[in-house]
Chains A and B, each alone.
Chain A
Amino acid sequence: MDDTRQKLISCFQVVFPDMPADEIPAASTATVANWDSVAAITIMNVLEDEFRLEMDLDDLADLDSFEKIHAYLLKRQEVA
């Protein structure tokens, strides 16, 4: 498992402490009831803390699953 994926799982555990770790990679706004707009902003801010990057609120709407966020982070790291 790549470092980014592992760190992203840790971020999800902070935002969704009751979610079992093995369910996190499949998480999305469609499958997680608690993943509302507040949780989305919290995820974004936790990612900013943990990955030391600045994210744009405009990106939030597209980042609606673990996999999409993972891909987004990998892309940001490539650019950096």
Chain B
Amino acid sequence: MNITEALKITQNVPRDARPFAVTLACGFTPLHLQTFLAAHLQQSLPDRKVTISSGLYGNLVGTLEAISSAALPDGLVIALEWPDLDARLDYRSAGSWGASAANDIVISSHAMLDRLAAALLRIPSGLRAALSLPTLPLPPLFHTPGWQSSAYQLHLECDIVRLAADIAQEGRIAIVNMQRLAEDSPANARFDLKSDLYSGLPYTMQHADRLASQLAQTLLPPPPKKGIISDLDDTLWNGIAGEVGPDAVTWDLASHCQLHGLYQKLLSSLADSGTLIGAASKNDPAVVHQTFERPDLLLRSDQVFPIEVHWNAKSGSVARILKTWNIAADSVIFVDDSPMELAEVAAAHPGIECVRFPKNDYAAGLEMLRHLRDRCGKERVSKDDALRLESIRQSAAFREQTSGGAAPESFLQGINAVVTFDFGAGSEPRVFELVNKTNQFNLNGCRYTEADWHRLLASPGAVLAAVSYEDKYGPLGTIAVLAGHVDEGCLHVETWVMSCRAFARRIEHQTLKILFDGTGTTEMRFSFTPTAKNGPTRDFFTGLLGEEPQSEFRLKRSQFEEKCPALYHEVREMRRAEAHG
């Protein structure tokens, strides 16, 4: 992106777009970093108007300390550079570079990092923040020649990495991956001394753009893909299992097939963090079964579900896997070594991302592994991620029992269902994640920034219910969230999502019943908006209203009770100190 493109992006925004206010904390003149940051954020938020404010020159920590809970921005971006730790590290400073200064710079930097850590800790929890560590080389002020690391330099780097590790561990501020930045913005093309001295911006245009891009991505990461469907022969392993036999396919170093082993390890790691892994193969089911029983497989067979093996078109396999997972094609990646199979699946499932397994091309193989991690990677892994695959197996069993239609009364009565309502879980990451990634049972498709979400929960009369479910088939974890506020005897529901894994259990009915009871209201107002994907939500309300809703509507308690079917759940309620409403 060049500066002209960046300016045009920031200007071509609908005038009535809702603002998305970002504070940029940096000690230098932000100039083009600010412009590029606005442009990259604007591309991620086309329906918002991104505005960026920066703090005082030379006072990064002061900018952070001035952030107040009373007027929180929507996002915070922190671009740290060495001069923020000690002014003598600034080319614009007249401070000494003498031998006696070096040790003092390390000491004063350490103290400044303590102050920075304290300021970062005080950042309110509802504020999404991204931080980049120093990107520019240190000035040549230490006594060692440039090719040798000075102990002072290493101490500085050590202190700053320790701070970043502590922040990353704490999980509230996302840190830019400096290795990835180095790939996009080579170290020797970052610093512009003349620009630094003339304007106070130390970055080249290219570096300002690249850093802004990574800061924007770190602040507003794209939603991760939910699943990977993989081919088996010559993809998950090397060789055709049906031809050479289950014992002769390979994925190890000795066979020069380590790329397949690395792919298995990556899929296993992604499965552990909640990414769904399925398999689609034109093969003999018995052969595949035997191969999956090999103890040296690096992806456990219980991490893969469903496994579709037959000789029919793979697009059909993908369709069945998507149905079992109950997710849309655009949330999934399909990996195969055959361009023909990829094309067939892509044609049948618009939106699915097709990735070719680059057999024997190691550079492309590494790129593919990194790409899959990028597309499926998550900031944090919750206990619900670990439950996901098992709950899908349970849902498949559940659907089998109910033959895919409405569950018969006797069946629902006998599954020992427990629904738990947590009225104080607003700041739980899983709750926020569910609100922003659920498509089918979603009242209006509205996505929230962390700041928007916290504002909603802090509004007068706010109500939040996070719903968990389990039955004799096992726990589904946190599967639904409803948020809104009570106003003049009416509960105004602004967002309501439920995981597709929880359909057909009447959890949505139980949720409304509990909220009518708990809030004492006689009417609910729903901010409903039809979307391309929220048909299940529309169908649910059509059943209650007797007609299809087109926009916001009201539902009286008497209407609900008239249509509400028998509910067999045991209900538990949790009310924490932070409970709303």
Contacts and interface: CB of A to CB of B under 8 A. Distances in A.
B199 A49 contact: no
B31 A14 contact: no
A45 B208 CA distance: 13
Q: Could you say which interface size class chain B belongs to? A: 10 to 19
Interface residues of A, number: 14
A60 B195 CA distance: 12
Given A38-B31, A42-B35, A49 B194 contact: no
A4 interface: no
Contacts of B29: 38
A19 interface: no
A57 B193 CA distance: 12
Interface string A9-42: 0010011010000000000000000000110011
Interface stretch (B4-12, B414-422, B552-560): B4-12
B195 A46 contact: no
Given A17-B11, A38-B31, A57-B199, A46 B194 contact: no
B7 A15 contact: yes
A54 B489 CA distance: 66
B311 interface: no
Contacts of A41: 31, 199, 201
Contacts of B194: 57
B199 A37 contact: yes
Contacts of A14: 4, 7-8, 11
B40 interface: no
A65 B35 CA distance: 23
Contacts of B7: 14-15, 42, 46
B11 A46 contact: no
Interface string B27-67: 00101100100000000000000000000000000000000
Chain B interface SS verdict (over half): helix
Nearest to B11: A17
A20 to B, nearest CB: 15
Contacts of B195: 57
Contacts of B31: 38, 41-42
A42 B3 contact: yes
Given A17-B11, A57-B194, A46 B199 contact: no
Given A50-B4, A57-B194, A57-B198, A45 B11 contact: no
Contacts of A42: 3, 7, 31-32, 35
B283 to A, nearest CB: 54
Contact of B3 (A17, A38, A46, A57): A46
A11 B8 CA distance: 10
Contacts of B201: 41
Nearest to A41: B199
Nearest to B8: A14
Interface in A49-74: 49-50, 57, 60
B210 to A, nearest CB: 16
Given A17-B11, A42-B35, 8 more contacts: A14-B4, A41-B199, A41-B201, A42-B3, A42-B7, A45-B32, A50-B4, A57-B195
Interface of B: 2-4, 7-8, 11, 29, 31-32, 35, 194-195, 198-199, 201, 205
6 contacts: A17-B11, A41-B199, A41-B201, A49-B3, A57-B199, A60-B198
